[in-house]
Amino acid sequence: KSQIRNIFGEIRRIETLNADIRQVKFLLLLPKLAYSVAKSQKNLKPYRDEFEKWYNVVNEGVKDDTFGKRFDNFVNFFESFLAFHRVVAQKD
């Protein structure tokens, strides 16, 4: 849980940056996530796989100048993903 929250914290920090730096910092999220998954003692692979799908969608926005909108949608998705994860974790 804390590994996922760390990634979300980084996403929130990226959200405050200007557009050019935001794109660069966003590209560095995937390696950070890979490190978190490797570091974690729990199986976070399903979370990584879902994250990668959205990551690739946002990254495609660099080519057609829709990165900002895609990134905003990604932040909203990730926030709801965390809320869902919290509810599921409480049931287990």
Q: What is the pLDDT of residues 52-86, one digit of tens each?
A: 999 999 999 988 889 999 999 999 988 888 888 77
Q: Band the pLDDT of 38: cuts 50, 70, 90.
A: confident
Distance CA 55, CA 26 (A): 9
pLDDT at 1: 64
pLDDT at 92: 58
Q: Answer yes or no: is pLDDT of 5 > 70.
A: yes
Mean pLDDT of 14-43: 87
* Coil vs helix vs strand at 42: coil
Mean pLDDT of 39-45: 75
